[in-house]
Structure 1
Amino acid sequence: MSDPAAGAGGPAGARSLKFSTNGIPSANRMELWSMHNAKALIALDIRTMDESPLTATEINLHFPSIRLAQVRGSAQVIERNEKFIRKHPMDVIGVFFALKGEAFFYYPGGFETLRPGQAVIYDADRPFMRGFHRGVEEMVLTIPRDEYLALSGGKPLARPVVLDFHKAGPENRYVLALAQLVRDALVSRPWSGAGAAPSTAPDPAVVEASAVELLRLLVAPKGAGIPEGYVSAAKCFIDDHLGDPNLCPSQIAEAVGISERHLTRVFAETGEPPGTYVLARRLERAAALLSDPAEGATSIAVIAARCGFASQAYFARAFKARFGMTPLNARREARAEGLIPPN
Structure 2
Amino acid sequence: MPDLDELRPRRVPAPVSAPVSVPFPAPVAVPVAVPPGGPSSAERGGVQIVRGHEEPLQGTVSSYQFGGVTVSLVKGGPRELVRPARQIDTVGEGILRVCRPLTGEVWVFQDGRHGVVRSPQLICFDSTRPYKVIMPENFRMVDVMVSHCLVGITLDDAERLTAQPWRGDQGLAALLSTLLDGLGRHGKEVETAVDLLGGSVVGLTAALFAERMREVAADSEIAKQALMLRVQAYVRDHLAEPDLSPVTIARRHNISLRYLQKIFQEFGISPARWIRDERLSRCRSELADPSLDHMPVALIGERAGLYGASHFSRLFRDRYGTTPREYRKERIGA
TM-score range, shorter chain: 0.3 to 0.5
| Structure with larger RCO (C-alpha < 8 A, sep 6+) | 2
TM-score by length of 2: 0.46
TM-score by length of 1: 0.45
Pair member with larger Rg: 1
